C-alpha cells in the first residue's frame, strides 16, 4: 500500500511539473488544473492529496449531485381551548368549553377579558397516527372576545311578557280596583357575534303601566292576583280603555368557550297592550239568582 501511494505521488508531481514549468514558491496554490485545490512544495515536488481526493480528477467531469426525495414530515394542528385538569395533568377542554364533572377549569389569567384561549398542538405523523395534545401557552389578554352591546341586546327578539287583568271579563267597575300583573320569568336567548356563539339572559326589572285615562304606574313588582295584589288602578269615569305595559329588561351574556357571564351595559324595553275593555257604573239591586249559578246570569 505504501509503494502505491508513493507512486501516485510521483506521477502527480511529474504531471504538475509538466503542466506548470514555473512552479510557485512554497505554499502557493497551483492553478490551471481543474478540480485541484491542493498546495505544492517546490523543493519536494509533492502536494496535498487530501484536497485532491475530494475533487474530480483533471479532465473528468464532476459527478452530478443526486438529491434525495424528501421524507414526509409530521404536520401540526393547533387549537385554542380552555384547560381541564385530570390527575394533576393538563388536558384540553371539549369543544363546548366545559370540563367533565368534578374536573376544574384552569385558573384564568387576570384579564378584563380572556380574549385568546390557551393554545394546544397535536402532531399528525406520516403513517396517519396522531400524538397527544400538547399545551403550548396559558392564553393571553388581547381583547378579541366579542362584546354584546346594548344595540345588540335591543335587537334580540325579547318576547313581551303577557299583561293580565283581574277581573278579566271585558269590563271593570268604576271606583273599584282593577288589578294588573305580569310574568317576571327571565328569558334565555341565543345569538352569534363575530363567529362566536353567545348565550343571552334577559331579566325583567321594571314595569310601567299606562292605564289609558292619563294615569300611570311605575313599579319593580310584577304584581300578584287578589288578595295579594299590589299593582292596581281605579277608573274614575266610565269609558273604553286599554292598558299598555312597558317592561324594562337588563341582560347578561356568555361567549362560547368562556364560562364567565358578563353584564350588558344598558337596557332593552318591550311593550304589550291589553284588548279594549269598558269601565262601567253598576247599581245594586235585588236578584233572584247568584253569579255562581249555571248558566251564569247575563248581568254577572
Query: Domains of the chain: which residue ranges?
Result: 2-53, 75-135, 150-280
Residue of 258 and 139 predicted with greater confidence: 258
Number of neighbouring beta carbons within 10 Å of residue 298: 5
Of 23-27, 106-110, 163-167, least confident by mean pLDDT is 23-27
pLDDT band at 112 (very low <50, low <70, confident <90, very high): low
Average the pLDDT over 249-255 and give the result.
97
Class of domain 150-280: mainly beta
Question: Residue 4: which of 38, 40, 49 has the closest Cα?
Answer: 49
Residue of 50 and 230 predicted with greater confidence: 230
Calpha distance 271→209 (Å, rounded): 10
Average the pLDDT over 157-175 and give the result.
96
pLDDT tens-digit readout, 67-98 = 445 578 888 888 888 888 777 788 888 877 67
pLDDT surpassing 60 at residue 124: yes
Q: How many CA atoms lie within 13 A of 135 on its CB side?
A: 16
Average the pLDDT over 224-229 and give the result.
95
**What pLDDT score does 183 carry?**
96
Please report, for residues 116, 145, 198, 201, 205, the alpha-carbon distance to residue 156 in angstroms, rounded to integers and kept in the order given: 27, 19, 12, 11, 17
pLDDT surpassing 60 at residue 14: no
Q: Mean pLDDT for the chain?
A: 77
Tell me, rounded to whole angstroms, the distance of Cα 19 from its chain centroid.
77
pLDDT surpassing 50 at residue 34: no
Cell numbers 345569538: residue? 191
Of 138-142, 173-177, 195-199, 247-251, least confident by mean pLDDT is 138-142
pLDDT band at 227 (very low <50, low <70, confident <90, very high): very high
Residue of 27 and 179 predicted with greater confidence: 179
Q: Can you read off the three cell numbers belonging to residue 152?
A: 345588540
**What pLDDT score does 107 carry?**
54
CA pseudo-torsion sign 6, 10, 13, 15:
negative
Whether the pTM exceeds 0.75: the reply is no
Amino acid at each position: 500500500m505504501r509503494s502505491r501511494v508513493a507512486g501516485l505521488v510521483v506521477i502527480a508531481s511529474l504531471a504538475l511539473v509538466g503542466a506548470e514549468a514555473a512552479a510557485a514558491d512554497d505554499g502557493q496554490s497551483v492553478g490551471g488544473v481543474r478540480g485541484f485545490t491542493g498546495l505544492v512544495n517546490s523543493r519536494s515536488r509533492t502536494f496535498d492529496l487530501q484536497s485532491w481526493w475530494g475533487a474530480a480528477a483533471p479532465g473528468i467531469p464532476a459527478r452530478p449531485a443526486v438529491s434525495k426525495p424528501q421524507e414526509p414530515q409530521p404536520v401540526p394542528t393547533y387549537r385554542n381551548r380552555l384547560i381541564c385538569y385530570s390527575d394533576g395533568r393538563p388536558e384540553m377542554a371539549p369543544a363546548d368549553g366545559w370540563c367533565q364533572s368534578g374536573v376544574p377549569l384552569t385558573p384564568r389569567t387576570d384579564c378584563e377579558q380572556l380574549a385568546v384561549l390557551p393554545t394546544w398542538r397535536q402532531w399528525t405523523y406520516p403513517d396517519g397516527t396522531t400524538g397527544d395534545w400538547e399545551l403550548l401557552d396559558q392564553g393571553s389578554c388581547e381583547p378579541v372576545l366579542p362584546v354584546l352591546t346594548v344595540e345588540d341586546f335591543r335587537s334580540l327578539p325579547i318576547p313581551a311578557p303577557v299583561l293580565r287583568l283581574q277581573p278579566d271579563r271585558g269590563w271593570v267597575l268604576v271606583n273599584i280596583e282593577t288589578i294588573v300583573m305580569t310574568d317576571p320569568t327571565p328569558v334565555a336567548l341565543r345569538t352569534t357575534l363575530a363567529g362566536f356563539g353567545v348565550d343571552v339572559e334577559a331579566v325583567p326589572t321594571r314595569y310601567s303601566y299606562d292605564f289609558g285615562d292619563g294615569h300611570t304606574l311605575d313599579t319593580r313588582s310584577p304584581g300578584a292576583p287578589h288578595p295579594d295584589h299590589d299593582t292596581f288602578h281605579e277608573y274614575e269615569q266610565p269609558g273604553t280603555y286599554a292598558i299598555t305595559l312597558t317592561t324594562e329588561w337588563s341582560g347578561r351574556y356568555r361567549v362560547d368557550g368562556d364560562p364567565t357571564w358578563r353584564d350588558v351595559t344598558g337596557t332593552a324595553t318591550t311593550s304589550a297592550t291589553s284588548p279594549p275593555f269598558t269601565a262601567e257604573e253598576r247599581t245594586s239591586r235585588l236578584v233572584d239568582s247568584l253569579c255562581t249559578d249555571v248558566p251564569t246570569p247575563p248581568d254577572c
